[in-house]
Amino acid sequence: MTAQIEIDSVTKRYGAMTVLENLSLSVKANEFMVFLGPSGCGKSTLLRMIAGLESVDEGTISINGQRIDTLPPGKRDIAMVFQSYALYPHMTVSDNMAFGLRNIGVPADKVSSRIAEAARMLEIGHLLERKPGQLSGGQRQRVAIGRAIVKEPKAFLFDEPLSNLDAALRVRTRVELAQLRNRVKSTMIFVTHDQIEAMTLADRVVVMNNRKIEQIGTPMDIYLRPASRFVATFVGSPTMNFMPAQISEADGFAVATLSDGSRLQTGVPGRLLTRGDHTLGIRAEAIRRTGDDEHSATTGTVEVLERLGDRTLLYTRLADGRMIVAEDIGLSRVSIGDRIGLSLDGQRAHLFDADGAAYHAENSGHG
């Protein structure tokens, strides 16, 4: 069983404060949707409204065409997994998983078979008689996921389920979740403020900020064609470089004149933009160190080196005092204090107007 979820013009207030404003989105059946955004932007609130743990002030939420925001949580056929696990400490793992099923009168043999199946899937069969206090954080989170699976819900809602795990376990559990997702055919909504989780797990990402949706798209959509300066800043690490640019046009494309007077031909169609003040955005991977000054768009002094193994990030101070991050090979021979030349790939540059609206090269979504 699966769910197509429709959120239509939903508004949520706490007292005088509006936390979500007139927000609409649809989640397709069997889709893995990630809500991504900074702390406090309303991700959990939206998820809890779908689960029925928060009321909806305006608008509607429907599953498979049936309105559910008026139903009590238990009637929505949705399972939620929390960051805090929320297991009953005095019950065994097995009883924790069985509890919700027994409550709704699922026959005992069915309860056992569903627990056995979930335990097999999550590799927690050997833990079934333990209590939560005797488990590691990662094991507890698996039990919490198991408890959701045995309900065989139409949709799973995950609220930052990995954020209490240490870095290594987080990555492992993330991969397990991706595998689980392939086995359990169900709609999943996953809340996180971690863009790597969003990029790796999502079919589509909903980027939220400041009461509203900034962009809905596939991970590569939001990476390559961020709809706003906010999305461009929030998605991608290191964060995108931004520089003031004066826009003119040549051969139909926007030309950016940077503060040092250098000119960069972009792939952004000139007709999309007004002339004058804009911001150029360019990711570190589109800025390379050049061997000689002749092929350099600009030069600067390296202040910080981050060696990440497969690549090296060069934090470089430009003549105008601005710091930009360029990417070099893993075994970069650059040292701190070196003056280096940089070339910017204009085809991978983005332009933003004063309101933060984004303009991209026409081919930027196609590699």
Ligand X SMILES: Nc1ncnc2c1ncn2[C@@H]1O[C@H](COP(=O)(O)OP(=O)(O)OP(=O)(O)O)[C@@H](O)[C@H]1O
Q: Does 195 bind Mg ion (CB under 5 A)?
A: no
Alpha helices (H) in 152-192, listed in sequence order? 167-183
Strand spans (E) along 15-151: 17-27, 32-36, 58-63, 66-67, 78-82
Query: Which region, judged by CB under 6 A, interacts with ligand X, from 35-43, 98-106, 219-227, 260-268?
Result: 35-43
Size of the site for Mg ion (CB under 5 A): 1
CB 9, min distance to Mg ion, A: 22
CB 135, min distance to ligand X, A: 24
Which of 76, 147, 170, 193 contacts ligand X by CB under 6 A? 193
C-beta separation of 300 from 340 below 8 A: yes
Closest to ligand X by CB, 53 vs 336, is 53
C-beta separation of 298 from 344 below 8 A: yes
Query: CA–CA distance from 309 to each of 171, 197, 301, 312 (Å)?
Result: 18, 21, 22, 7
Rounded to whole angstroms, the Cα distance separating 161 from 109 reads 29
Closest to ligand X by CB, 209 vs 298, is 209
Q: Does 335 bind ligand X (CB under 6 A)?
A: no
Q: Does 55 bind ligand X (CB under 6 A)?
A: no
Q: Does 236 bind ligand X (CB under 6 A)?
A: no
Lookup: tokens for 74: 């238990």
Site mask for ligand X (CB under 6 A), range 138-177, x = bound:
----------------------------------------
Rounded to whole angstroms, the Cα distance separating 94 from 96 reads 5
Query: CA–CA distance from 283 to each of 13, 26, 320, 327 (Å)?
Result: 37, 30, 19, 9
Residue labelled with tokens 């981050």: 306
C-beta separation of 139 from 127 below 8 A: yes
Query: Which region, judged by CB under 6 A, interacts with ligand X, from 41-49, 66-74, 96-104, 322-330?
Result: 41-49
Closest to ligand X by CB, 17 vs 167, is 17
Which of 31, 32, 44, 328 contacts ligand X by CB under 6 A? 44
Rounded to whole angstroms, the Cα distance separating 5 from 200 reads 22
Lookup: tokens for 171: 């990555």
Closest to ligand X by CB, 22 vs 259, is 22
CB 232, min distance to ligand X, A: 20
State the binding partner of 41 from ligand X, Mg ion, none, CB within 5 to 8 A by kind. Answer: ligand X
Task: Of 239, 275, 232, give the one whose Cα is nearest residue 256.
Answer: 275
Query: Which region, judged by CB under 6 A, interacts with ligand X, from 33-41, 284-292, 309-317, 328-336?
Result: 33-41
How many C-beta atoms surround the C-beta of residue 178 within 10 A?
Answer: 12
Q: Is 300 helix (H, G, I), strand (E, B) or coil?
A: strand
Q: Does 44 bind Mg ion (CB under 5 A)?
A: yes
Name the pairing type of β-strands 78-82 and 155-159: parallel
Closest to ligand X by CB, 193 vs 204, is 193
CB 14, min distance to Mg ion, A: 14
Query: Which region, judged by CB under 5 A, interacts with Mg ion, from 38-46, 125-133, 182-190, 204-212?
Result: 38-46
State the binding partner of 19 from ligand X, Mg ion, none, CB within 5 to 8 A by kind. Answer: ligand X
Lookup: tokens for 337: 């204090």
C-beta separation of 208 from 36 below 8 A: yes
Q: Does 192 bind Mg ion (CB under 5 A)?
A: no
Closest to ligand X by CB, 193 vs 289, is 193
Contact residues toward ligand X (CB under 6 A) are 14, 19, 37, 39-45, 193
Contact residues toward Mg ion (CB under 5 A) are 44
